[in-house]
Amino acid sequence: MAEQEPQQSVPLALPLPWQESLWQTFISRLDQNRLPHAMMLTGATGIGVERIAAALAQRLLCTAELSKYACGSCKGCQLIMAGNHPDLSTLEPAEEGKAILIDQVRDLMARLSKTAQQGGWKVALISPAETMNINASNALLKSLEEPQGKTLLILLSYRPSLVSATIRSRCQVQSLPLPDQAQASRWLAEVSGDAQLAEQTLDIAGGRPLLALDYMQGDSLQQRQAFEGTVEQVRRGDLSPVDAAQQCHRQNSDQLLDWFMNYLHRLATGELQNSPNPALFDFSDKLRTARSWVLSGSNINPQLLWEELFMDWLQVFRRRGG
Ligand SMILES: [Zn+2]
């Protein structure tokens, strides 16, 4: 292989079928010169928030006129596809699970304060916005207060409540709902080529089609089933909380907690629908709290976290005598 890593080539992004009407809104705002200086796109992971954000950024930098999507052949598009458009900046944590830091925001602001090199828009994608720590948020606030012409900041957030309220108030917030199930199912069947599995997997993925596609293409569906197996073994008393924690503590806690919450939801709306268990709701609060600890980057011992959770999980059923 070459010694120097080549620039990664970037495919042009098209909005997903369930984003079509939002896309029309964006394009008409662009055509009427009514785009804000900063917008925040919010929604669940796995529904394509980042897809429509990328499509919009690319459309702004495309120099072809009257094109609904980025054209793919102009200079702007060529630069995007080569992964080095000088007027497109992306701000994200240096490492997964880490925060976006103030220096990164300052670098971005320095870039945005210069004239656009290609003479058009300057666009910055900040993702996920909730990972900006407090200093980074404050630094960004400055640039939101002094907007410049033809500059768009697109903040993406999967947990907008964790983004500072002042930042949110400076952005045009657009929340993306879960896609219509039939539409999502059709899309997934088409992309995966397996209509039957598509429907099942979409259900497991809580209606989030890109997550479902991940499951179908990777081994995470198996991992998830293995995790749910562990959860059920603890519930039946076939596996001790300590042993269960041993199986989980090296995995991505955020991911496992997400699966656990989804599992609870299915349990509460399925198997336990007619015998509601109040302890289940308390437990679901505990999962949420655990998840906010994990997301806040606190220094938690995952083995202890999982031991405690599995002990509580066991109690949910013990309290009822089985
Ligand atoms: Zn173009």
Q: Are residues 164 and 24 in the same domain?
A: yes
Q: What are the pLDDT digits (tens) for 154-191?
A: 999 999 999 999 999 999 999 999 999 999 999 999 99
Rounded distance from Cα 84 to ligand 1 centre (Å): 14
Rounded distance from Cα 32 to ligand 1 centre (Å): 19
Rounded distance from Cα 10 to ligand 1 centre (Å): 14
Query: What tokens does 182 get?
Result: 């039939």
The answer as to whether 12 is a domain residue is no
Q: How far apart are the first and last CA of the chain?
A: 59
Q: What are the pLDDT digits (tens) for 50-106?
A: 999 999 999 999 999 878 999 999 999 999 999 999 999 999 999 888 899 999 999
Note if the bond before 128 is cis, omega within 30 degrees: yes
Q: Are residues 60 and 162 in the same domain?
A: yes
Q: Are residues 168 and 185 in the same domain?
A: no
The answer as to whether 65 is a domain residue is yes
Rounded distance from Cα 250 to ligand 1 centre (Å): 44
Q: Are residues 125 and 186 in the same domain?
A: no
- Determine the residue type at 1: M
Rounded distance from Cα 292 to ligand 1 centre (Å): 41
Cα→Cα distances 81→73, 197, 253, Å:
10, 33, 34
Q: What are the pLDDT digits (tens) for 280-300?
A: 889 999 999 998 888 777 778
The answer as to whether 28 is a domain residue is yes
The answer as to whether 7 is a domain residue is no
Q: What are the pLDDT digits (tens) for 101-139?
A: 999 999 999 999 888 888 899 999 999 999 999 999 999
The answer as to whether 2 is a domain residue is no
Query: What tokens does 137 get?
Result: 């948020």
Rounded distance from Cα 62 to ligand 1 centre (Å): 4
The answer as to whether 166 is a domain residue is yes
Question: Distance (Å, rounded) from C-alpha 14 to C-alpha 204?
Answer: 25
Q: What mean pLDDT value characterizes the chain?
A: 90
Closest CA to 194 of 167, 213, 222: 213
**Residue 131 DSSP code:** G
Rounded distance from Cα 195 to ligand 1 centre (Å): 34
The answer as to whether 11 is a domain residue is no
Provide the percentage of residues in the chain whose pLDDT is more than 70: 96
List the 122-126 sheet strands across, edge first: 88-91, 122-126, 151-157, 38-42, 172-175
Closest CA to 225 of 200, 207, 250, 243: 200
**Entry pTM:** 0.73
Closest CA to 110 of 131, 140, 137: 140
Q: Are residues 162 and 242 in the same domain?
A: no
Phi, psi of 170 (to 5 degrees): -90, -5
Cα→Cα distances 164→26, 63, 64, Å:
25, 34, 37
Concatenate the DSSP letters of all residues of 93-108 into one string.
-SSTTPPBPHHHHHHH
Instruction: Measure the CA angle with vertex 198, ends 197 and 201; round to 5°.
Output: 80
Q: What are the pLDDT digits (tens) for 305-318?
A: 999 999 999 999 87
pLDDT of residue 39: 97
Domain residue limits at 207: 179-218
Q: Are residues 153 and 260 in the same domain?
A: no
Q: Are residues 27 and 140 in the same domain?
A: yes
Rounded distance from Cα 102 to ligand 1 centre (Å): 33
Phi, psi of 84 (to 5 degrees): -140, 45
Cβ proximity of 42 and 49 under 8 Å: yes
Rounded distance from Cα 11 to ligand 1 centre (Å): 13
Spatial neighbors of 132 by CB under 8 A, at least 6 apart, are 99, 100, 105, 126, 140, 163, 167
Buried b (16+ CB within 10 A) or exposed e, 7-29: eeebebbbbbebbeebbeebbee
Cβ proximity of 40 and 144 under 8 Å: no
The answer as to whether 4 is a domain residue is no
